[in-house]
Amino acid sequence: MHPDLQMLMKLQVIDYDLGELERSKDYLPDMMENLRHEIKEAETKLADTRQQLDAAKVKQKKLELEIESREAELQKYQQQMMSIKTNREYDALVAEIDGIKERISSCETDLLETIDLISQLETDITQFSEKEKQVSESNTRQLQILQEKVDSIGAKVSGKVEMRQGIITSIPKTTLSIYERVRRGRRGRAVVGVRKRACGACFKALTAKKIQEIKRAERIHACDNCGAMLYWDNDESN
């Protein structure tokens, strides 16, 4: 393999690593935000359910008090029945009593539904509390790991940049310029091996003469179709 190609391959690996580190700057914060959102969502769901339970218990107490008050009122009216003297008074009192009974019945139905709701909410809170604990613990651990990765990116980038600078000083400027141009056009793949007697980047078949020239490695050869810089890697599958 041509010595310049060997250096370019090392450079290509470094450039790939730098690209991955740059991409990490974008997706790691997004991942962390998703993890925080999951924690917040679990906490909110638990808090909302607890609020619903508190409200249901308040409603239960109000209904019980109203039923108690209405029953006392009903008892008072029923006692008044003993002292009624006219049909008009009787009819009016019966209407009052019927209204109170309807209200008591409505409150009792509402109370039973509220008690059932309280039971369900208590069950939900037990489940949501366990889920919130699991999500919080798991996501917090992942956040710590991701934060460590975020914190280390700067140092890794600096190290790779330093290595890159050390390599490019040994590569001819013209060759480096071609590499940079091809790398930008092919999203990082500037140096590729010959595969099955074809360019390993665009898969265009190579002539026998071109292959022999690549094997001799007297100079750097590029694919006539895509511009990728080619090397022979002695792979039997070729």
Tell me the DSSP string of 120-167: HHHHHHHHHHHHHHHHHHHHHHHHHHHHHHHHHHHHHHHHHHHHHHHH
Instruction: For residue range 55-93, list pLDDT tens digits in order.
Output: 999 999 999 999 999 999 999 998 888 888 888 988 999
| Cα distance between residue 143 and residue 32, in whole Å | 6
Separation CA 29–CA 226 (nearest Å):
36
Look at residue 59 in the predicted model and tell me its pLDDT. Answer: 97
| Residue carrying the six token digits 């390599």 | 167
> What pLDDT, in 10s, does the model give residues 107-119?
999 999 999 999 9
5-21 pLDDT, tens digit per residue, is 999 999 999 999 998 89
Residues 8-56 have pLDDT tens digits of 999 999 999 998 898 888 889 999 999 999 999 999 999 999 999 999 9
pLDDT for 153-196, tens place per residue? 989 999 999 999 999 999 999 999 999 999 888 776 899 999 88
Residues 6+ apart with CB under 8 A from 206: 194, 197, 198, 199, 214, 223, 230
**Domains of the chain, earliest start first:** 25-152 (1.10.287.1490), 173-231 (no CATH)
Buried/exposed 111-133: b ≥16 CB within 10 Å, e otherwise? beebeebbeebeebbeebeeebe
Find tokens 């599958």 and name the residue: 237
